[in-house]
Amino acid sequence: MKIGFDNLAMARVCRAHGVAKLESFGSVLRADFRPDSDVDLLATLRPEAESRTGLLEWVGLREELADLFGRPVDLLSRPLVERSRNPFRKAAILNHTETLYAEG
């Protein structure tokens, strides 16, 4: 990954929002990543966090991650991507990820 971040701050944000795993995908993992690129992320929430995470909480998580990276973030739910009916888009995302945070 070509972008730096504070690992401790990342862990704090993820724990506070019930994120079990956070992964990057897209241009941040490729040679075409530029200074004006956003960061594409996949989040997997803990089961107990899923039931209490609505749109406002999701946006809050995205904003905290954007502050952490110092650039815009596109945040997707891994389970929703896994259930996608578009096999090409699903494969393009899920087959090329890098784990940034994982509980444990």
Mind giving me the DSSP string for 21-75? Answer: EEEEEGGGGSTT--TT--EEEEEEE-HHHHTT--HHHHHHHHHHHHHHHTS-EEE
| pTM of the complete model | 0.91
Q: How confident is the model at residue 1 (pLDDT cuts 50, 70, 90)?
A: very low
pLDDT tens per residue, range 30-44 = 888 888 889 999 999
The number of CA neighbours under 13 Å toward the Cβ of 5 is 23
Going along the chain from its start, the domains and CATH numbers come out as 7-102 (3.30.460.10)
Residues 48-104 pLDDT 10s: 998 888 889 999 999 999 999 999 999 999 999 999 999 999 999 999 999 999 997
